[in-house]
Amino acid sequence: MSKVAVVAVGGNSLIKDKEHQTVPDQYMAAVETMKHIADMIEKGWDVVITHGNGPQVGFILLRSEAGKKVFGLHTVPLDSCGADTQGAIGYNFQQALSNEFRRRGKDKKVVTVITRVLVDINDPAFKNPTKPIGPFLTKEEALERKEKEGWNVMEDAGRGWRRVVPSPDPKAILEQDAIEKLVRDGFVVIGVGGGGIPVYEVKEKNIIKGCAAVIDKDFASSLLASNIKADLFLISTAVPKVYLNFGKPDEKPLDRITVSEAKKYKEEGHFAKGSMLPKIEACIRYLEKGGKQALITCPEKIGEALEGKTGTWIVPENSPSANF
């Protein structure tokens, strides 16, 4: 049986810089990333690709606000923004990866699964929304939206006011069975985009309902990797390795660490809250639920990392060396 990997790709990785933010620009960035994932697949891996969507949701919200102001159009609910970006990014990934397989003469099918992720409506995050989304507003605009639309708003680091939403913990991936069957049948699957579309149970009506929230992509990807018993959980990010004292003169790259070492470095404050911390926490979750090995590296180094030449491997206690 082939080895299964869940590969989490950051939404920011599709935007190289401020001069390359268009949809064609993002597609070309996807083309580069998919080449490295295709290499991995050619070496025998079956892959589920997950991805972030922060910048892309931000663009939709900006267009939504502009449409409201200029044309009086309805705004787009946040859960629909998540669905929109899952489809659009999934399409870019499908195109890029399918074309790469064609170029290599490889008969491999790629499919995107629009994925809902269940959260608990009583999660403490709903009482303390902290995730800024959408455009900057004046204080007056923000307070007006709070009164009229029930938004939670806050001043954001002196740059203006923004809407803030909850970031609850993922509890279940509703399309998990479909994702697992597809990948084990040989499809490359793109799923759990943006951490999944957040939904919750309305028990008295026996229905599932979307909500205005943002689920951490790495946490949702970790949950999927654990539940389908993936052989590898790989987080593709902007750096080839994880570092201690990152950006300082005494920064130190980490090649291979255990879960206990990862927890120790986390407690010592080595990992920034908005960048590396959730990735480390996601790897720890996966490994503590029985996962085999986790890897953090950049897209262009995936091949070398799988050969043990770079990347940061995080493993259970007393684990043998990577043998992929």
Q: Which of 3, 16, 109, 131 is catalytic?
A: 131
**What is the band of 188 on the pLDDT scale with cuts at 50, 70, 90?**
very high
* Of 282 and 318, more confident: 282
**Percentage with pLDDT > 70 across the chain:** 98
Whether the predicted pLDDT of 93 surpasses 60: yes
- Is 18 among the catalytic positions? no
Span 190-218, pLDDT tens digits: 999 999 999 999 999 999 999 999 999 99
Computed over every residue of the chain, the mean pLDDT equals: 93
Q: Which of 52, 53, 90, 217 is catalytic?
A: 217
Q: Which of 279, 292, 301, 303 is catalytic?
A: 279
- Is 229 among the catalytic positions? no
- Is 92 among the catalytic positions? no
- What is the model's pLDDT at position 208? 98
Q: Which residues pair with 314 in a beta bridge?
A: 257, 294
Rounded CA separation 218/241 (Å): 17
Residues whose CB falls within 8 Å of the CB of residue 101, separated by 6 or more in sequence, listed in order: 38, 107, 108, 110
Q: Which of 10, 11, 291, 311 is catalytic?
A: 11
101: Cα within 13 Å, side-chain hemisphere: 17
Span 31-70, pLDDT tens digits: 999 999 999 999 999 999 999 999 999 999 999 989 999 9
Both tokens of 293, joined, read 């090995």
Rounded CA separation 295/280 (Å): 10
- What is the model's pLDDT at position 168? 97
What integer is the mean pLDDT of 156-169?
A: 89
Q: Which of 12, 16, 58, 146 is catalytic?
A: 12
**What is the band of 270 on the pLDDT scale with cuts at 50, 70, 90?**
very high
Sign of the alpha-carbon torsion through 31, 18, 48, 292? positive
Angle at 136 (CA atoms; ends 131, 140), nearest 5 degrees: 110
The fold for domain 3-116+175-315 equals: Carbamate kinase (3.40.1160)
Whose CA is closest to 263, among 245, 287, 239, 280?
280
Whether the predicted pLDDT of 324 surpasses 60: no
Please count the other Cβ atoms lying within 10 Å of the Cβ belonging to residue 250.
6
- What is the model's pLDDT at position 323? 46
- What is the model's pLDDT at position 320? 64
* Cβ–Cβ < 8 Å for 149, 165: no
- Is 11 among the catalytic positions? yes
What integer is the mean pLDDT of 97-103?
A: 98
| One-character DSSP codes across 169-216 | PP-EETTHHHHHHHHHTT-EEE-SGGG-EEEEEETTTTEEEE-S----
- Is 206 among the catalytic positions? no
* Of 273 and 67, more confident: 67
* Cβ–Cβ < 8 Å for 289, 219: no
Both tokens of 208, joined, read 């599932």
What integer is the mean pLDDT of 260-276?
A: 92
DSSP 300: G
Whether the predicted pLDDT of 321 surpasses 70: no
